[in-house]
């Protein structure tokens, strides 16, 4: 591997610079609100001015103005992609949350699962408010049962409530709306049965069967789709169930049947990019064809490899990650077609610029960011690291050099994606550096074998079974190998998200170090960027101020989650899991929230069922778990009579007390008769959301913050007690009754806006700043 260019990162690479300025424009569009036509007008003015400067031989000024024009174009593209919709676009109608009748076409293969089915429908017309309108845009249809009656390109009619997908309810939580918007899906509809959708005739069906009119449709429906189905059926027929699912993921991007524990092994070992089709698989296809065609003319070899890449992309249903990788690889191959020693970093910049012009929202897609970072790391760092060792002439030295190339390639990619992985996944799989050494060759063997499996399947059962035997052998190695790597000490480190400026500082420092080590020069631009990032980080830390005590109510759907953080760094968590089976809210909401706010240890977790919180214990350092049965054994410090019950108050530590309720006659602990008193900033907060609603009056007393169960009705005794002893702030939390929500709380009008609930506002946090309490809306709607 050779260093292709002696220049620095951006020297004589206009495409890469253009990509950077255009990307910065798209990212700035989130914060800069401007009418798209105004932005386009500004961009044209800047471009014309750049041409004038160019003709006047002021090249530097012309170049700067041209890049600024691209920056403004990026802003305009973002505004068009997110708000420039025509009046009848599906986004505008979904925002009204109305009942509509939709006519459209299924534009992706149905996602069929055991208990539900997802369809992506491109809308061409709808009936809304008794008016039939031409429309456009995609919607996601969820059917609450498994349905196999629909196929790609089916035309359907259905009716239901059309709504916009919801955004995140917690900082760091999964942003479902953004995920769908990046895929250009702006509406959702939920239907009970597959029969609620009516298949209708396609007016273009006769024309679509003609290869001369629409070759694309013929190629996809008559060639690619049947071959894909043959492969999937063949995997299931000739391989064990789990191996078939994994091979389908390697080759075709079919991830639905891969067990969760297997997916977690890939994630924890830094090999997740191999589990499902991505840039890694495209690189494997390219490497395979370039290897077997090594004796072929360079230009013919490039053409054949390009055809293979395009076909593989269609075979994987043009998954966005594969399309991105295919475009990048194709432009690189075209560069190789034209030049013997192309500058791949320039081609990468051009490819990404082209992708973002077509799909500007891809910039916010973590897969796109990881793909670009990994490719840039390989192209920029790997040649430099590879130049340290020269290949020998003996077989042993060549094998060693080949392994070294795999290592430096993996290391370069891992180094480049390190901060992005920390930002989005809150973990660093350090073992990935060594896990990828055996896994990349194995993944290459399986990817190629999975494609080559096709002719053996067509030849019959005996031939296919013989070919399947070595595939089974390789597949049987993967899981034990991943188990071994995942079990190594320090295989995965959980981290807090670094934030944008720490990521910038990381890349700037790595660039400075690389330039100094390999070229013996100091990059002025890198040093300036590092100092600027460091100053911004110090300034942001100063604005943040010292840590104060806070009480956060975290939206975890049906579960109840409350986090108290002390000024000394101690954290206490109340978590009641109201889901049946495994507690999914831990992975999707609570853990991302804790990482986002920088918490990696909790002193005590108060919970109704410790057995459901094993995932929390795996991800976060926990001092102790306390269930109601554990608290019952603690000797009370005070016993009081409250109506028909006896309250036993016990001191747990300097901050937390708890109260258990007993019946007056038999002295037995009442089921769900437990609540807490928390001391924060010299004031008392009552945490009683885990209390049964029928005992709510026993917890109401004068307090700064009072938490009650959601189904505690705001009338009768509860209303009278609240009116007599009103807290400063009242919070309603989810309880296990799962009864219909009590939304009508206007009887508590004397409390104005002091009533809070995660079901209504998402997560929120109370900060105790001396005698003052400030309230954070933790998610912007």
Domain co-membership, 347 together with 425 = yes
The number of angstroms, rounded, from the C-alpha of 32 to the middle of its chain's C-alpha atoms is 24
Q: How many domains does the chain have?
A: 5
Q: Residue 53 belongs to what domain range?
A: 14-83
Is 420 a member of any domain? yes
Residues 606 and 715 in one domain: yes
Nearest of 705, 648, 709, 651 to residue 680 by alpha carbon: 705
Of residues 446, 158, 407, the one with CA closest to residue 281: 446
Yes or no: say if 343 and 15 are a contact pair by the CB < 8 Å rule: no
Tell me the three-class secondary structure of 326-387, residue by residue.
Answer: HHHHHHHHHHHHHCCCCCHHHHHHHHHHHHHHHCHHHHHCHHHHHHHHHHHHHHHHHHHHHC
Distance CA 366, CA 725 (A): 50
> CA 560 from chain center: how many Å?
23
Q: Would you say residue 648 lies in a domain?
A: yes
pLDDT tens figures, 405-438: 888 888 888 889 889 988 888 888 888 878 888 8
CATH number at residue 739: 3.60.15
Distances (CA, A) of 103 to 125, 157, 611: 5, 5, 47
Query: Are 287 and 365 found together in one domain?
Result: yes
29 DSSP assignment: T
Q: Is 382 a member of any domain?
A: yes
Inside any domain, residue 3:
no
Q: In the predicted model, what is the mean pLDDT of the chain?
A: 82
Q: Is the dihedral of CA 287, 292, 297, 303 positive or negative?
A: negative
Which pLDDT score is estimated for 505? Answer: 86
Confidence class for position 5, pLDDT limits 50, 70, 90: very low
**pLDDT grade for 69, boundaries at 50, 70 and 90:** very high
Q: Residue 657 pLDDT more than 60?
A: yes
State the pLDDT at residue 353: 93
Q: Judge if 60 and 121 occupy the same domain.
A: no
User: Residue range 138-144: average pLDDT?
Assistant: 92
> What is the per-residue pLDDT for 396?
80
Q: Is residue 7 part of a domain?
A: no
**Could you tell me if 267 and 360 lie in one domain?**
yes
Under the banding of pLDDT at 50, 70 and 90, the label for residue 143 is very high
pTM (two decimals): 0.80
Residue 5 lies in a domain: no
Last residue within a domain, chosen from 83, 112, 135? 83
CA distance 401 to 257: 38
pLDDT value of residue 6: 41
pLDDT of residue 753: 65
Q: Is residue 293 part of a domain?
A: yes
Per 3-state DSSP, the chain is made up of helix, strand and coil in percentages (nearest 5) of: 50, 20, 30
The predicted pLDDT at position 751 comes to 56
Same domain, residue pair 506 and 553: no
Q: Which two tokens stand for residue 760?
A: 């209504």
At 71, the pLDDT band (50, 70, 90 cuts) reads very high
Q: What's the rounded Cα separation, in Å, for the pair 642 and 639?
A: 10
Contact 551, 765 (CB under 8 A): yes
Question: What is the distance between the alpha carbons of residues 296 and 290, in angstroms, rounded to a whole number?
Answer: 9
531-584: pLDDT as tens digits: 877 787 777 666 565 668 889 999 888 889 999 998 888 899 999 988 777 788
For 684-701, write each residue's pLDDT tens digit: 899 998 888 788 888 888
Q: What pLDDT is recorded for position 532?
A: 79
User: Per the structure block, which two tokens stand in for 317?
Assistant: 């249903």
Q: How many CB atoms lie within 10 A of CB 755?
A: 17
**Last residue of some domain: 203, 227, 253?**
203
User: Is the domain of 490 the same as that of 530?
Assistant: no
User: Are 478 and 506 members of one domain?
Assistant: no
> Residue 681: its pLDDT value, please?
76
User: What would the two tokens of residue 91 be?
Assistant: 């986004």
Percent of the chain with pLDDT over 90: 14
Q: Tell me the sheet residues that pair with 657.
A: 651, 677
Of 83, 102, 135, which residue constitutes the final position of a domain?
83
C-alpha 146: how far from chain center: 25
pLDDT of the residue at 25: 94
φ, ψ of residue 756 in degrees (nearest 5) = -130, 155
Range name among 180-189, 219-228, 681-690 with the lowest pLDDT average: 219-228
Are 463 and 507 in the same domain? no
The verdict on 339 and 194 lying in the same domain is: no
**Contact of 135 with 125, CB cutoff 8 Å:** yes
What CATH number corresponds to the domain at position 139?
2.40.50.140
- Same domain? For 761 and 672 the reply is yes
- Say if residue 217 is exposed, middle or buried (CB neighbours under 10 Å; 0-12, 13-18, 19+): middle
Instruction: Work out the average pLDDT over 24-49.
Output: 90
Between residues 250 and 118, which one has the greater pLDDT?
118
What are the strands, taking DSSP E only, across 151-296? 155-162, 185-191, 198-200
pLDDT at 641: 66
The strand pairing partners of 551, in sequence order, are: 564, 766
CA–CA dist 317, 319 (Å, integer):
6
The Cα–Cα gap between 576 and 610 comes to 9
Are residues 694 and 570 part of one domain?
A: yes
Contact call for residues 381 and 412 (beta carbons, < 8 A):
yes
Using CA atoms, how far residue 243 sits from 255, 256, 477, in Å, is 12, 13, 11
pLDDT band per the 50, 70, 90 thresholds, residue 603: very high
Return d(Cα 225, Cα 246) in angstroms, integer. Answer: 20
Query: Domain for residue 176, yes or no?
Result: yes
483 CB-near residues (< 8 Å, 6+ apart): 265
pLDDT tens digits along 77-115: 998 888 778 888 898 898 888 899 999 988 877 887 777
Which is higher by pLDDT, 632 or 594?
Answer: 594
| Pairing of β 656-663 and β 669-680 | antiparallel
Handedness of CA 424, 427, 432, 435 (dihedral sign): negative
Let me know: does 140 contact 165? Beta carbons within 8 Å. Answer: yes
The span from the CA of 630 to the CA of 325, in Å, is: 54
Is the pLDDT at 218 greater than 70? The verdict is no
Q: What is the pLDDT of residue 270?
A: 82
Check residue 209 and give its pLDDT.
Answer: 44
Instruction: Please name the residues in contact with 95: beta carbons below 8 A apart, sequence gap of 6 or more.
Output: 164
Residue 664 pLDDT class (50, 70, 90 cuts): low
Q: What is the helix (H) or strand (E) element at residue 141, kind and residue range? A: strand 138-143
């Amino acid at each position: 591997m050779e260093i292709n260019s002696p220049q620095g990162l951006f020297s004589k690479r206009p495409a890469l610079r253009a990509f950077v300025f255009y990307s910065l424009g798209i990212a700035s569009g989130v914060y800069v609100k401007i009418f798209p036509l105004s932005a386009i007008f500004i961009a044209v003015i800047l471009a014309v001015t750049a041409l004038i400067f160019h003709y006047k031989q002021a090249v530097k000024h012309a170049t700067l103005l041209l890049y600024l024009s691209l920056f403004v174009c990026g802003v305009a593209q973002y505004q068009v992609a997110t708000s420039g919709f025509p009046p009848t676009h599906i986004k505008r109608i979904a925002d009204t949350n109305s009942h509509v009748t939709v006519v459209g076409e299924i534009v992706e293969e149905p996602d069929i699962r055991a208990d539900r089915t997802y369809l992506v429908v491109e809308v061409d017309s709808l009936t809304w408010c008794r008016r039939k309108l031409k429309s456009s845009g995609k919607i996601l249809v969820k059917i609450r049962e498994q349905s196999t009656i629909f196929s790609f390109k089916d035309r359907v009619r259905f009716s239901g409530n059309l709504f916009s997908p919801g955004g995140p309810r917690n900082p760091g939580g999964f942003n479902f709306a953004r995920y769908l918007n990046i895929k250009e899906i702006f509406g959702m509809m939920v239907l009970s049965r597959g029969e609620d959708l009516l298949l209708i005739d396609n007016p273009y069906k006769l024309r679509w069967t003609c290869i001369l009119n629409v070759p694309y449709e013929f190629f996809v429906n008559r060639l690619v789709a049947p071959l894909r189905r043959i492969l999937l059926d063949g995997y299931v027929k000739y391989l064990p169930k789990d191996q078939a699912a994994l091979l389908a993921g390697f080759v075709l991007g079919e991830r639905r049947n891969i067990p969760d524990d297997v997916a977690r092994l890939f994630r924890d070992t830094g090999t997740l990019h191999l589990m499902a089709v991505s840039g890694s698989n495209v690189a494997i296809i390219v490497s395979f064809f370039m290897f077997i065609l090594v004796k072929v003319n360079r230009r013919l070899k490039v053409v054949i490899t390009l055809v293979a890449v395009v076909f593989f992309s269609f075979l994987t249903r043009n998954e966005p990650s594969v399309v991105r990788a295919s475009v990048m690889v194709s432009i690189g191959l075209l560069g190789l077609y034209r030049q013997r020693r192309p500058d791949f970093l320039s081609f990468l910049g051009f490819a990404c610029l082209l992708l973002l012009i077509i799909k500007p929202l891809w910039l916010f897609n973590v897969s796109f960011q990881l793909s670009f970072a990994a490719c840039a790391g390989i192209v920029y760092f790997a040649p430099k690291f590879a130049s340290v060792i020269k290949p020998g002439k003996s077989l042993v030295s060549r094998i060693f050099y080949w392994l070294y190339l795999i290592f430096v390639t993996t290391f370069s990619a891992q180094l480049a994606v390190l901060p992005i992985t920390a930002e989005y996944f809150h973990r660093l799989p350090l073992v990935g550096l060594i896990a990828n050494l055996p896994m990349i060759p194995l993944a290459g063997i399986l990817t190629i074998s999975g494609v080559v499996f096709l002719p053996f399947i067509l030849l019959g059962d005996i031939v296919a079974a013989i070919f399947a035997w070595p595939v089974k052998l390789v597949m049987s190695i993967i899981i034990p190998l991943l188990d071994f790597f995942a079990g190594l000490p320090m295989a995965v480190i959980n981290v807090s998200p670094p934030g944008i400026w720490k990521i910038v500082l990381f890349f700037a420092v790595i660039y400075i170090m690389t330039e100094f080590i390999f070229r013996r020069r100091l990059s002025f631009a890198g040093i300036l960027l590092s100092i600027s990032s460091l100053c911004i980080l110090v300034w942001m830390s100063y604005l943040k101020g010292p840590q104060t005590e806070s009480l956060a109510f975290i939206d975890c759907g049906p579960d109840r989650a409350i986090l108290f953080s002390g000024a000394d760094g101690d954290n206490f968590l109340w978590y009641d899991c109201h889901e049946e089976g495994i507690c999914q809210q831990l992975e999707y909401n609570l853990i991302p929230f804790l990482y986002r706010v920088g918490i990696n240890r909790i002193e005590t977790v108060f919970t109704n069922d410790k057995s459901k919180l094993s995932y929390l214990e795996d991800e976060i350092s926990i001092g102790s778990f306390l269930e109601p049965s554990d608290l019952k054994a603690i000797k009370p410090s005070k016993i009081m009579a409250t109506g028909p019950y006896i309250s036993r108050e016990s001191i747990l530590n300097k901050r937390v007390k708890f109260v258990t309720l007993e019946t007056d006659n038999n002295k037995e602990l009442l089921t769900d008769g437990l609540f807490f008193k928390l001391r924060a900033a010299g004031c008392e907060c009552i945490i009683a959301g885990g209390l049964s609603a029928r005992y709510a009056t026993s917890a109401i007393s004068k307090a700064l913050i009072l938490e009650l169960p959601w189904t505690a009705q705001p009338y009768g005794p509860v209303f009278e007690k609240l009116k007599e002893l009103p807290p400063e702030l009242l919070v309603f939390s989810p309880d296990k009754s799962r009864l219909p929500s009590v939304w009508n709380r206007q009887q508590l009008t004397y409390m104005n806006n002091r009533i809070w609930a995660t079901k209504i506002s998402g997560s929120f946090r109370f900060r105790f700043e001396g005698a003052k309490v400030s309230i954070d809306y933790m998610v912007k709607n």
